[in-house]
A and B are shown apart, each in its own frame.
Chain A
Amino acid sequence: MAGVKIYGKPISTCTARVLLCLEEVGAEYQLVSINMPSGEHKGPAHLARNPFGQIPALEDGDLVLFESRAISKYVLRKYKESGTDLLKEGNLAESAMVEVWLEAESQQYNPAISPIVWQSLIVPKMYGGTPDQAIIDSSLEKLKKVLEVYEARLSKSKYLAGNFFSLADLSHFPFTRYLMITPYASVFESYPHVKAWWEDITSRPAFKKVSAGMLDS
């Protein structure tokens, strides 16, 4: 099967989400770097791939996709013969639970965690700016409320969608990976089942490989 092309950066959270899926299914792919500091993502060539000027984008023959969770699902479906089934689309109830917790990642977890990562890591490191502590603090409170729900869930279920690893778990990786190199990593200490889940999923070979391409500080 011909490989797909991914346009993005390995240090980018949303690109990492897609790379994780490709690594999990063992697919061949080509990563084409987009130069963010020079504004390449807002240039006409990239806007033709992603009209919102963001990364990642995927090209597979004449198919062009954007939005990392949509790309992830496409990759997982395309390579489902690999034996790695992270969507469970053959089972109505299981696939529904994957969708529920993927939505939870996108709509509950991500809005709480991403401002913390953005302010404490990306703003100083990429933009030379000063973190907005008020945003960090209010986001931390929101994140704790979300982690309470996750703690309860992961006390009953090994992974988020059930007793099977899925895209729902995987999708949490990129921003959490970055939270862990900020001073706020310790928030996970109060949620032992969440912590154990994090240690479990990050021990997967795909995670180690993608993590190596991300920022370490």
Chain B
Amino acid sequence: MGIKVYGLTKTTNVARVLISLEEVGADYEVVPVDFATGEHKSQSHLTRNPFGQVPAFQDDNDVMLFESRAISRYILRKYKSDLLREDDIKEAALVDVWVDVEYGQYNAPASAICYNVIVKPMHGEEVDQQVVDTNLEKLKKVLEVYEARLSQYKYLAGDFISFADLSHVPCTYYLMLTQYKSVFDSYPHVKAWWEAIMARPSIKKVFDIMSA
């Protein structure tokens, strides 16, 4: 049967899983889920993801998972990727720290900006500039911390790239398509970090998939 990822490749959380799959070079199939017809709330999808969200994930031996960061960790462990650093307890812990920072600090303001500036206009809705501005200020505070961190280390968890860095990719990809990409200009180490990540072949491939 092989690996199946359920969802649309443009969705940030789906793209996060694709990044791990491309990094380990696994074969996989993407099975689209049609939100317009409510497929994400259908019985068959709810069996795969009881919260009615994407992605959902299947692998041989009855492995059925949801939550993109959990799915990513499964893939990286299964293929013994170095992106989790699980051979070194301290490095693995630092990876975990910055994955949690991505979700807990970075993701909320970055995705609020992207939602207002990209998704709402697509649905003919007005941009809430106050929400954008508030979240921009929050994002800048987060980027100050990142700038300090990335001035000390090449990547977030240390001088090695990890899942923590790559977990930032989907949301940042969209942020960089907006006028707010310029906010990164004030944080030169963060900008250099992003450019290093973008140069990875797996990331270029996922960008192609997302923009298709």
| Contact indicator A66/B69 (Cβ below 8 Å) | no
| Contact indicator A69/B100 (Cβ below 8 Å) | yes
| Contact indicator A74/B96 (Cβ below 8 Å) | yes
Q: Across the interface, which residues of B come within 8 angstroms of A89, CB to CB?
A: 86
Q: Which residue of A lies closest to B146 (CB)?
A: A51
A-B pairs with beta carbons under 8 Å apart, 10 shown: A67-B96, A69-B100, A77-B92, A93-B62, A96-B63, A100-B65, A100-B70, A102-B70, A103-B70, A106-B103
Q: How would residues 106 to 122 of chain A score, 1 for a CB under 8 Å from any chain B CB and 0 otherwise? A: 11100000000000000
Give B contacts to A, CB under 8 Å.
50-51, 61-63, 65-67, 69-70, 73-74, 77-78, 86, 89-90, 92-94, 96-97, 99-101, 103-105, 145, 148-149
Q: Across the interface, which residues of A come within 8 angstroms of B70, CB to CB?
A: 96, 99-100, 102-103
Q: Across the interface, which residues of A come within 8 angstroms of B77, CB to CB?
A: 92, 95-96
**Of A66, A104, A108, A152, which one neighbours B97 at CB under 8 angstroms?**
A66
Q: Which residue of A lies closest to B95 (CB)?
A: A70
| Contact indicator B50/A149 (Cβ below 8 Å) | yes
Give A contacts to B, CB under 8 Å.
51-52, 63, 65-67, 69-71, 73-74, 77-78, 89, 92-93, 95-97, 99-100, 102-104, 106-108, 146, 149, 152-153
Contacts A95-B77, A96-B63, A103-B67; is A70 near B51 (CB within 8 Å)? Answer: no
| Contact indicator B96/A73 (Cβ below 8 Å) | yes
Q: Across the interface, which residues of B come within 8 angstroms of A97, CB to CB?
A: 65
Q: Across the interface, which residues of A come within 8 angstroms of B148, CB to CB?
A: 51
| Contact indicator B96/A70 (Cβ below 8 Å) | yes
| Contact indicator A92/B90 (Cβ below 8 Å) | no
Give A123 to B51 CA distance when docked, in angstroms: 30
| Contact indicator A100/B93 (Cβ below 8 Å) | no
Q: Across the interface, which residues of A come within 8 angstroms of B73, CB to CB?
A: 95-96, 99
Q: Across the interface, which residues of A come within 8 angstroms of B51, CB to CB?
A: 104, 108, 146, 149
Interface of A: prevailing SS: helix
Give A92 to B77 CA distance when docked, in angstroms: 7
Min distance, Cβ A98 to any Cβ of chain B, angstroms: 9
Q: Which residue of B lies closest to A110 (CB)?
A: B104
Additional A-B contact list (18), CB under 8 Å, known A70-B97, A89-B86, A106-B103? A51-B148, A51-B149, A52-B101, A52-B105, A63-B90, A67-B97, A67-B101, A70-B93, A74-B92, A78-B89, A92-B77, A97-B65, A99-B70, A103-B70, A104-B67, A149-B50, A149-B51, A152-B50
Min distance, Cβ A7 to any Cβ of chain B, angstroms: 14
Min distance, Cβ B193 to any Cβ of chain A, angstroms: 16
B50, B105, B145 interface centre (most CB from chain A within 10 Å): B50
B70, B73, B99, B105 interface centre (most CB from chain A within 10 Å): B70
Give A67 to B145 CA distance when docked, in angstroms: 15
| Contact indicator B96/A107 (Cβ below 8 Å) | no
Q: Across the interface, which residues of B come within 8 angstroms of A74, CB to CB?
A: 89, 92-93, 96
Min distance, Cβ B131 to any Cβ of chain A, angstroms: 17
